[in-house]
A and B are shown apart, each in its own frame.
Chain A
């Protein structure tokens, strides 16, 4: 569906993750710019752990290959303080995060929250892109407000704008609509998918809501809990 000459944003093979006694494995995954992927599975199947791995905040137990924008993530994790610094830099420049709730700083205005990543990167905010995000997400009238003055739905839309502001190659969304009512959730998801395409970002959308995911028409990576003692295996699911 997507042209094959697009940049490969995320590429992994035989990725193993572990947190405590819990283990998971992803045999293979490749995501290009502009592509979207849903990660789903029953509660407790390790979606969050996988997101931590992809989000560069959990060290992989082992990996055949793990690259974000061509950078060898396993090597950075093995690289001590310099590697940590490089990982922080990669998180700042290459990844946008949308959390389940929150993810906004209470002491900055909506506009300043959205501008956080560009500022950290030393970039000036692209006005056109900023206006596009703000208009699409319906935030024009709230830019000067503090986040606490917004509804939960509005706050989630600000969080989306913040994650997309610096047009990161990879956007990770962790149950971004879990706190919203179904109608609002559908609209928010549609907006996120559309803006990711506009941004040219690859999107990884984690959700336990398999019904809503199925309706989006994007590839799905599904966690399957195997027999006791075996790691959870995340593999592609036949598209509905």
Chain B
């Protein structure tokens, strides 16, 4: 009938835009009303997402949250460890010798000595070892010291020390010494006690020598182990598996659970708020668009008289609803970003770098925008129906 497919669709959209601009005071009010609902919601979601993400990042950044601490002494064989290592939930596992035997006296070149340092088995991939050193195995005669041990001994990475253990055989004390190199320091935040991290073979040799065994036994049993889950979600199930095998274990599951609980409760509260806001937005925009059709009935009837299709004119409130949504989104975004920046700046003291109090995921932001546009179209449905039913003859009557 006319150029460009259905008669008047494009023209109806254009006229809706012109009307929206002409009536800019009313349009602005609608956009402001939408922004007034949207901005606090965006800030609340931003806070929720920022706080939960920060807490989760903190949980993740501290490997001790993935640790499953095994309490007590057991008899664990190679097959048991093989099964555990094969479990995808296991991140890092290394056997421990008996804790009573796992001590080492250490002497620094300066003469400072520290008796009975805790001897901790380590292996490549140990989450407590600094990132740069973690991958490669320790060289022969190399150990890591915990920060507190290094401080007491007055040594730094690269220094040499002497390790010493002793045993009593027939009332005679025998001593064995190893020259050791400090390959790295385990930070205080990850291990606060004074300790020496050494390869398992070193601990095994020390234990064997203390027990008076000269040849290593073929079917060695280990008393315990150091274990880290692959990720936060694996901690609780991995611990449960060990409990079922009869081991007593401790985890930081409660802290992980509390963050997850916070996430869930905040999501629930905010979903309720979101639902109320959506309902309010639908009703208020729907009513405004409906009222606008009522106000402009004669203009719309004139367009019907001039030959605009009823369906094409139904696009007028739909277009205007979408314009309100776009305006509202722009306004609320303009208000949100400074608010978020303000929160992040004022609360920066409690945060590490790269951490946020208020943060919206771009994906969530995009989904929010899309939802707003869809709701605007939905809100316009009633008004659109009303427009499509306007009788063109109404324009010929005096009102």
Q: Is the CB of A92 within 8 A of B2?
A: yes
Please indicate the chain B residues that have their CB under 8 angstroms from the CB of A119 in the complex.
11
- Interface 9-residue window, one of A3-11, A50-58, A209-217: A50-58
In A70-127, which residues have CB < 8 Å from any B CB?
84-86, 88-93, 95, 97, 99-103, 105-108, 116-117, 119-123
Cα of A18 to Cα of B143 in the assembled complex, Å = 106
Checking A58, A93, A107 against B21 with a beta-carbon cut-off of 8 angstroms, the contacting residue is: A107
Q: Is the CB of A57 within 8 A of B11?
A: no
Known: A57-B393, A88-B308, A106-B299. A120 touches B2 (CB 8 A): yes
Interface size, B (range): 20 to 34
Cα of A100 to Cα of B298 in the assembled complex, Å = 13
Cα of A117 to Cα of B305 in the assembled complex, Å = 11
Please indicate the chain B residues that have their CB under 8 angstroms from the CB of A101 in the complex.
398
Please indicate the chain A residues that have their CB under 8 angstroms from the CB of B1 in the complex.
85-86, 89, 92-93
Q: Is the CB of B18 within 8 A of A116?
A: no
Please indicate the chain B residues that have their CB under 8 angstroms from the CB of A105 in the complex.
15, 19, 299, 302-303
Q: Is the CB of A103 within 8 A of B4?
A: no
Checking A51, A108, A120 against B18 with a beta-carbon cut-off of 8 angstroms, the contacting residue is: A108
Q: Is the CB of A91 within 8 A of B305?
A: yes
Q: Is the CB of B8 within 8 A of A174?
A: no
A48 interface residue per 8 A CB criterion: yes
Q: How many A-B residue pairs have CB under 8 A?
A: 89
Please indicate the chain A residues that have their CB under 8 angstroms from the CB of B303 in the complex.
105
Q: How many residues in A have their beta carbons less than 8 Å from beta carbons of B? A: 34
Cα of A93 to Cα of B309 in the assembled complex, Å = 13
Cα of A102 to Cα of B397 in the assembled complex, Å = 11
CB closest chain-A residue, reference B20:
A107
In B18-34, which residues have CB < 8 Å from any A CB?
18-19, 21-23
B391 interface residue per 8 A CB criterion: yes
Known: A57-B392, A58-B393. A97 touches B306 (CB 8 A): yes
> Smallest Cβ distance from B101 to chain A, in angstroms?
91
B184 interface residue per 8 A CB criterion: no
Checking B23, B396, B397 against A107 with a beta-carbon cut-off of 8 angstroms, the contacting residue is: B23
CB closest chain-A residue, reference B16:
A107
> Smallest Cβ distance from A172 to chain B, in angstroms?
9
> Smallest Cβ distance from B389 to chain A, in angstroms?
11
> Smallest Cβ distance from B304 to chain A, in angstroms?
7
CB closest chain-B residue, reference A122:
B3
B395 interface residue per 8 A CB criterion: yes
Contact code string B148-186 (vs A, CB < 8 Å = 1, else 0): 000000000000000000000000000000000000000
> Smallest Cβ distance from A163 to chain B, in angstroms?
9
CB closest chain-B residue, reference A93:
B307
Known: A57-B391, A103-B302, A107-B23. A120 touches B398 (CB 8 A): no
Cα of A22 to Cα of B397 in the assembled complex, Å = 16
CB closest chain-B residue, reference A100:
B398
> Smallest Cβ distance from A167 to chain B, in angstroms?
15
CB closest chain-B residue, reference A19:
B393
> Smallest Cβ distance from A112 to chain B, in angstroms?
8
Q: Is the CB of A52 within 8 A of B18?
A: no
Q: Is the CB of A117 within 8 A of B307?
A: yes
> Smallest Cβ distance from A82 to chain B, in angstroms?
11
Cα of A70 to Cα of B18 in the assembled complex, Å = 36
In B343-399, which residues have CB < 8 Å from any A CB?
391-393, 395-398
Please indicate the chain B residues that have their CB under 8 angstroms from the CB of A86 in the complex.
1
Please indicate the chain B residues that have their CB under 8 angstroms from the CB of A102 in the complex.
298, 302
8 contacts between A and B (CB under 8 A): A48-B396, A48-B397, A52-B393, A52-B396, A88-B310, A90-B307, A121-B2, A123-B3
Query: Residues of B with Cβ closer than 8 Å to A?
Result: 1-4, 7-8, 11, 15, 18-19, 21-23, 298-299, 302-310, 391-393, 395-398
Query: Residues of A with Cβ closer than 8 Å to B?
Result: 48, 51-52, 55, 57-58, 84-86, 88-93, 95, 97, 99-103, 105-108, 116-117, 119-123, 174
Top 9 A-B pairs, shortest CB-CB distance: A92-B307, A122-B3, A107-B22, A57-B393, A89-B1, A91-B307, A122-B2, A57-B392, A107-B19
